[in-house]
Chains A and B, each alone.
Chain A
Amino acid sequence: MALKIEKDHQRFRQIVKGKIRKDLRKFLTRGELLGREGERTISIPVRGIELPHFRYGDNNDAGVGIGEGESGDPVDGQEGEMGPGGTQEGQHILEVEVSLNELADILGDELKLPRIQPKGKHAITSEKDKYSGIRSTGPDSLRHFKRTFRAALKRQIMAGLYDPDFPIVVPIKRDQRYRSWKTVKKPQSNAVIIYMMDVSGSMGDEQKELVRLEAFWIDAWLRRNYEGIESRYIVHDVRAGEVDRQTFFRIREDGGTKISSAFHLCKQVIETNYDPNEWNIYIFHFSDGDNSSESDSRECCRLVREVLLPKSNMFGYCQVASAYGSGNFINVIHEHLDKEDGVITSRVNTKDDIYDSLKTFFGAGK
Chain B
Amino acid sequence: MSIETKRPDLVRHAKEIMEIASNAGLDFFETRFEMVDFDTMQQIAAYGGFPQRYPYWRFGMEYEKLRKQHVYGLGKIYELVINNDPCYAYLVADNCLTDQKLVMAHVYAHCDFFKHNFWFSKTNRKMMDEMANHATRIRKHIDRHGHDVVESFIDVCVTLDNLIDPHSPFMRRETSPPGSQVAREAADRLAKNDTPGFQAKPYMESWINPPAMKRKQREDAAKERLESRGRLPEQPLRDVLGFLLENAPLEDWESDVLAIIREEAYYFAPQGQTKIMNEGWATFWHSRLMTTKILRDEDLITYADHHSGTVAMSPGRLNPYKVGVELFRDIEERWNKGRFGKEYDECTSMSEMRKWNKDAGLGREKIFEVRSIHNDITFIDEFLTPEFVDRFKMYHYRFDPATRRMVVVNRDFKKIKEQLLFMLTNHMQPYIYVVDGNYANRGELYLAHKHTGVDLDIKYAVETLKNVQRVWRRPAHLQAIINEEMVLFSFDGEQSQQQKVHEDLPQPAHSM
Q: What 1/0 mask marks residues of chain B from 457 to 490 whose CB sits below 8 Å from any chain A CB?
A: 1111101100100000000001000000000000
Complex: how many Å from CA A68 to CA B393?
Answer: 7
Q: Which of A54-94 contact B (CB under 8 A)?
A: 54-85, 87, 94
With both beta carbons as reference points, the residue of chain B lying nearest to A7 in the complex is identified as B55
Give the interface segment out of B38-46, B190-198, B217-225, B293-301: B38-46
Question: Is the Cβ of B456 less than 8 Å from the Cβ of A57?
Answer: yes
Known: A67-B395, A84-B428. A55 touches B43 (CB 8 A): no
Chain B contributes a number of interface residues (CB within 8 A of A) equal to: 71
Q: Which of A164-198 contact B (CB under 8 A)?
A: none
Which residue of the partner chain, among A5, A65, A75, contacts B59 with CB atoms under 8 Å?
A5
Question: Is the Cβ of A64 less than 8 Å from the Cβ of B61?
Answer: no
Q: Which of A1-35 contact B (CB under 8 A)?
A: 3-5, 7-15
Give the interface segment out of A45-53, A150-158, A301-309: A45-53
> Given the complex, which residues of B lie within 8 Å of A79, measured CB to CB?
404-405
Question: Is the Cβ of A74 less than 8 Å from the Cβ of B405?
Answer: yes
Question: Is the Cβ of B456 less than 8 Å from the Cβ of A56?
Answer: yes
Complex: how many Å from CA A61 to CA B455?
Answer: 12
Question: Is the Cβ of A61 less than 8 Å from the Cβ of B322?
Answer: no
Instruction: Determine the main DSSP class of B at the interface with A.
Output: mixed
Q: Which of B402-426 contact A (CB under 8 A)?
A: 403-410, 416, 419-420, 423
Instruction: Determine the main DSSP class of A at the interface with B.
Output: loop
> Given the complex, which residues of A lie within 8 Å of B428, measured CB to CB?
56, 84-85
Question: Is the Cβ of B40 less than 8 Å from the Cβ of A3?
Answer: yes
> Given the complex, which residues of B lie within 8 Å of A56, measured CB to CB?
428, 430, 454-457
Known: A8-B55, A52-B464. A57 touches B61 (CB 8 A): no
Which residue of the partner chain, among A12, A80, A82, contacts B61 with CB atoms under 8 Å?
A12
Question: Is the Cβ of B162 less than 8 Å from the Cβ of A65?
Answer: no
Known: A66-B313, A75-B405, A78-B406. A52 touches B55 (CB 8 A): no
**CB of B57 to closest CB in A, whole Å:** 4
Q: How many A-B residue pairs have CB under 8 A?
A: 196
Q: Does A96 contact B (CB under 8 A)?
A: yes
Known: A4-B43, A78-B406. A65 touches B317 (CB 8 A): yes
> Given the complex, which residues of A lie within 8 Å of B51, measured CB to CB?
4
Question: Is the Cβ of B316 less than 8 Å from the Cβ of A83?
Answer: yes
Question: Is the Cβ of A77 less than 8 Å from the Cβ of B316?
Answer: yes
**CB of B59 to closest CB in A, whole Å:** 4
Known: A3-B39, A8-B56, A85-B428. A54 touches B408 (CB 8 A): no
Q: List 18 A-B contacts (CB under 8 A).
A: A8-B59, A12-B58, A13-B64, A49-B61, A53-B161, A53-B162, A53-B464, A63-B423, A64-B397, A65-B395, A66-B322, A66-B392, A71-B408, A73-B408, A75-B406, A77-B316, A82-B399, A85-B423
